[in-house]
Structure formats: structure tokens, C-alpha cells
Amino acid sequence: MNINDTIVACATKIAKQAISIIRISGENAFKITNRLLKNKLTKSSKIQIRKLFDKKDLIDEALILTFANGNSFTGEDVVEIQCHGGILLTNHIVSLLISYGARPALPGEFSQRAYLNGKINLIQAESINNLIDSKNELSLKISALNLEGKNHKSLIDMKNDLIDLISKIQTSIDYPDYDDVEGSSPEEIIEQLDFLKQETLKILDISKRFNFLKTGINTLILGETNVGKSSLLNTLISEEKAIVTEIEGTTRDIVEGELNFTNFTLNLIDSAGIRKTDNKVEKIGIEKSISLINTSNLILFVINKGKINYEIYEKIRNKKHLVVLNKSELLKKSDIEEIRKEFKDLVVVSALKGDIKDLISKIELEFNNEDILESDIPVLSNLFHIEMFKNILTLLENSLKNIKEGFTTDLINVDLYEILKILNNLLGIYDADEEVIDNIFRKYCLGK
């Protein structure tokens, strides 16, 4: 892969559709596109309708957008051709551009160039993916905020605090004659390290919650046979996905469905009902149901009057769960109250009648995530970025341990520099040393 190549890719699907968008980015973007045109594009022309030619033959009339002199997403010269959709036509234009010297872009290469040219940082690059993949509105909003870079402020604050701490330590090492630098005693360093550690923990915590939102909450529907688990799945997703019959043991394998709320998504899993059976296939299904308890984030434990499997309840009672009493329309109020005595947060539904209001509102209450949106803590959604932050945490803990054990501060600065490099990597800035030196001179006025 050569970063100097001019790359081309279709930004829309290659499919029959009204319009296809083809993007060309790189030094020769204009030159290559010009081979399709009678009159050349100039770097000042911005949006225009042009006829496209394959040598002398007219092939299409397209809208052409040009972004010159780095004023583009990638930071390079970019031409966007909005031609008519159509598999043959789109492929034809892309092939021509390749024959004129463009190289097919690798997955993510446009964003990679944007990052390398300082147009976006790593968090922003990741948020583009999230924006596209979002399953619910909250995830969409957070991705948009991340893309804008608004909630990076605390990342930058954190970095500035870190630079300050490094500068203080550096100054007191390099200039031992210089009057004691304020804030560089071991106690004060511990205090500042602790603060950074708390900030790091907050970021990791909110990121964990966001990823949960993004990937969805694995929700297992569990209970005895025939209590209405499959009916409940179907009612929740408004689709006849799982087979429902009055025959016990109908569901033998896992059936999945997705339910999107405004602020989160449930990945619903209907499982084989629990009962004693000699049927080999059903037995495997039941074992699967039980093994899913451990990987679920929420369990809907479905019961009917007189059909409560206490053995299973014991297995789930310490996990996040809701006890759902189904077929409630067959019951008297007093029956329900009797069961409620046993399960105080009982959720009462009738899958058959489509009455699941109580369940929906309890789930919404449980997973209200508005606070994530309101906080200005940056949300990391890429596993690699989360790993980077876990490294920061380890380095901070290491520094705290070292200083408490009386090691000299120069050793601690080695770890702190490492953290600064990680933060800069995320923010798309490279020269850590220069920043520290700048700060030392600006703040601590050495050499004035």
C-alpha cells in the first residue's frame, strides 16, 4: 500500500439505485477524472454537471464535486462523481478511473488518510463507523458528538494535567537548584496521579456502558416449557419468528430477535423450555438454555401460575433479571397478588393479548442511559482504544505504586511520558517532547 497513490472507491453500494457516488482521493484525483471529461476540471470548479466519456463515447451525465488543496475529508485533492446508479455503469466508471491510474481503495483507507493528514483523530475515525452502525438513537447521538470532537475536552484537560505534572517533575530533576517547584512533593504527585486515575476510570466505565448499548443487551427468555416464552419473543418483536404451539418442547434451538428502544437495543434470545425429557435433541437445547445464563446481560424469567421452576430461579436470582408472569388474562387479581408476594418486582403480561406494557416500561426504566449523553466524558467505542486506556490505567497504577514505595521521580516520568504518547496517539498529535518543553518554559518561566 502506498500512501501517495490516488485511490478510488464507490461510496455507495454497487447496486441498482438512483445514484452512485464514486470518490477519488489523492494527488492525481483531478488529472485522472479529467480523462473522462471534454473540458478539464480546474481547482476552482466546485459543483457542476458534466458529461462523462469513455474515449469518444458518452457514458453518463454526472454531478461532479471537487475539493481542492486539502479542503476535503481526506486532506487531499478529492473528486466525487455522482453518476446514475446501476451496477454496470458504476463498475464501468470505476474501471476507467483505475485504468487511468487510480488504485482501488482498501477498506477504511479514506478515513486512514484523513487521520494521517490530521483531519480527524482516532476517536473521530471510530465514530464514523459507529454513526453508520448505530442501532438506536442514543448510540447515534453519541457517535455524532464524538465525530464532532466535542467531548474530547476532558481528554485534552487530562492531557494538559499530565503535561503539567511531567513538567513539574522534569523541572525539579533538571534544575535541582531552582526553588522547589510547587506541587512536586511526593504527596502532591500522588494526589495528581490519583486524580488522573479517577478520570481514566470514568472514561473506561462510560465506554463500557456505551459498548453495551452499541452491541445490544443480551436478553435471555428463560422458563419452563409452554409458559409462553416464544409467544413473548414474537410479541416483543411484532413478528412470528419463533414457532408457537401448545405442544411442550416446541422450541428446541435458540431463536433470536432484536428490539430497538430509543436508548438501547435488546438482543432477545428465546430458548428451549426447561423440563425433564428423554428426547436427545430437546435435552441439548435445554443444556444450551442453561449455559446461556452466564453470557446474558438480562434474563426474562417467564412463569405461569403453578409453573415456576425454582431450580432455575436459584441459578438466575443473583443476575440481572425480571420475573415475568405470562398468561395473566386467565388469572384473577387475587392470584396475581399472591404471586407478587413471592416476587416483589413481578412483571405482569399477556403475550397472547399483546399486553406487554408493564414489561416494556420496566426495561426502559432499567436501561435509561440519558446520563451518558449528558456527560462530557469521552466515550471510546473501539476495543483497541479501550485497550490503550487500560494501559494508561496500568501505567498510572504503576507510578502510584512506585512513588509510594519511594522510587525517584525520574522513574515515574518514564511512565507518564508513555501515557502522554498514548493520549497523543488518540488525539492525533505526535510531538510529546516538544509539548512538555513548551509547557516548562511557558509555565515555569525557566531561563527568562
Ligand X SMILES: Nc1nc2c(ncn2[C@@H]2O[C@H](COP(=O)(O)OP(=O)(O)O)[C@@H](O)[C@H]2O)c(=O)[nH]1
Q: Which is nearer to Mg ion, 123 or 303 (CB)?
A: 303
Work out whether 289 is an interface residue with Mg ion (CB under 5 A). no
Q: Which of residues 182-241 bind Mg ion (CB under 5 A)?
A: 229-230
**Which of Mg ion, ligand X, none does 216 bind, CB closer than 5 to 8 A by kind?**
none
Which of 72, 74, 225, 439 touches ligand X by CB under 6 A? 225
Cα–Cα dist 371/145, whole Å: 14
Q: How far apart are CA 55 and CA 92, in angstroms?
A: 13
> Rounded to the nearest 10 degrees, what angle do helices 153-174 and 186-215 cross at?
150
Of the pair 168, 229, the CB lying nearest Mg ion is at 229
Give the interface segment with ligand X, choosing from 163-171, 197-205, 350-358, 440-448 (CB under 6 A).
350-358
25, 251, 382, 409: which one binds Mg ion (CB under 5 A)? 251
What is the nearest approach in angstroms of ligand X to the Cβ of residue 266?
Answer: 17
One residue of 72, 127, 167, 326 binding ligand X per CB under 6 A: 326
8 A C-beta contact, residue 30 and residue 39:
no
327, 363, 392, 422: which one contacts ligand X (CB under 6 A)?
A: 327
Q: How far is CA 295 from CA 138, 206, 211, 289, in A?
A: 24, 21, 15, 11
- Residue number of the CB closest to Mg ion reads 251
H or E element in which residue 57 lies: strand 57-67
Distance CA 90, CA 103 (A): 16
Query: Position of cell 518561566?
Result: 445
Q: Which residues between 246 and 265 bind ligand X (CB under 6 A)?
A: 246, 250-251
Q: Residue 108 CB, nearest distance to ligand X (Å)?
A: 42
Q: How far is CA 361 from the centre of its chain?
A: 25
Other residues' Cβ atoms within 10 Å of the Cβ of residue 263: 18
Closest to Mg ion by CB, 128 or 302: 302
Name, in order, each residue with C-beta under 8 angstroms of 422's C-beta and a sequence gap of 6 or more.
388, 389, 391, 392
Q: What is the dihedral of CA 275, 280, 281, 287, to 10 degrees?
A: 50
Select 152 or 327, whichever has its Cβ closest to ligand X: 327
304 binds Mg ion (CB under 5 A): no
List the single partner that 290 binds among ligand X, Mg ion, none, CB under 5 to 8 Å by kind: none
Q: Do 423 and 158 touch, CB atoms closer than 8 A?
A: yes
- Which of 22/268 has CB closer to ligand X? 268
Pull the grid cell for residue 306: 403453578
**Position 277 contacts ligand X (CB under 6 A):** no
Could you tell me how many residues of this chain bind ligand X (CB under 6 A)? 20
Using the rule CB under 6 A, is 281 a contact of ligand X? no
Binding site for Mg ion (CB under 5 A): 229-230, 251
Interacting residues with ligand X (CB under 6 A): 225-231, 244-246, 250-251, 273, 326-327, 329-330, 350-352
